[in-house]
Amino acid sequence: VDLLQEEEIVQLEALLKKMNPKAELVRSSFGQIDLKLALNTHRFDFNEVQDMPGWLQELRGVSHVPETEEYNISSLVFRSDKPFHPDRLDRLMAEGFDDLWRSKGLLWVAGRDHAALVWGQAGGAVKLEAGAWLHGNVDPKLWPPHLEKYKSKPYGDKRTELVFISRDLDKDALRQRLEDALVTEEEYRLGPKGWEQFID
């Protein structure tokens, strides 16, 4: 913390708490820290961190302490039951997300109906990894309770759910960029066979 102003420290702590509400934060000056606080603590549980970081709490609507408005750290949850158009998504990613601190979630791309894409972004770097949809792969009776509402949808659990975190987030502009990258209503009506024509 010796390199930061108090206001910057508090903002950073608020962001870290947003990303992992259960993390214990320890301030250190000039790299000095009691090693008992950092080594062999056995506090880190990867599975727990994967299951309930702040971004997942936000997506699931789990009640948590919101960021204080005085630091202007906010989040946007973007959901869509329509897939992204692959070419427009590619252009969106090429434009980058330099004003965003962090985003994560999953997305559906038209023409890639066999696999979900897991989205992870930090600063200007965006990473997409293959995931799996339950629709068509797992008996709906075995779906977890939080996906119950998707059982009756035409494409099951195929959807986009992303959460974005930043300071001074222009939610309207970001939402518009994302919506512009989705398939249009006319394209949506083409269905999976029609989406195969899209360049991926």
Phi, psi angle pair for 87, to nearest 5°: -70, -45
Is 60 exceeded by the pLDDT of residue 199? yes
- What 3-state DSSP class applies to 30? coil
Contact 194, 118 (CB under 8 A): no
Cα–Cα dist 44/66, whole Å:
23
Is 70 exceeded by the pLDDT of residue 64? no
Contact 22, 46 (CB under 8 A): no
Residues 6+ apart with CB under 8 A from 81: 153, 155, 159
pLDDT for position 176: 96
Confidence of residue 68 (pLDDT cuts 50, 70, 90): very low
Helical packing angle, 86-95 and 171-180, nearest 10°: 140
Confidence of residue 160 (pLDDT cuts 50, 70, 90): very high
Q: Both tokens of residue 107?
A: 């997305």
Buried/exposed 90-110: b ≥16 CB within 10 Å, e otherwise: eebeeeebeebbbbbbbbbbb
Confidence of residue 166 (pLDDT cuts 50, 70, 90): confident
What's the mean pLDDT in 46-59? Answer: 56
- Round the average pLDDT of the chain to a whole number and report it: 82
Radius of gyration for the alpha carbons in the chain, expressed in angstroms and rounded: 19
Per-residue pLDDT of 111-142, as tens digits, reads 987 889 998 887 767 788 888 899 988 898 89
- List the single range of 78-82, 87-91, 123-127, 133-137 with lowest mean pLDDT: 123-127
Dihedral angle over CA of 95, 99, 105, 110, nearest 10? -20
Q: In terms of pLDDT, which residue wins out, 39 or 154?
A: 154
Record the pTM: 0.65
Is 50 exceeded by the pLDDT of residue 67? no
Residues 6+ apart with CB under 8 A from 8: none
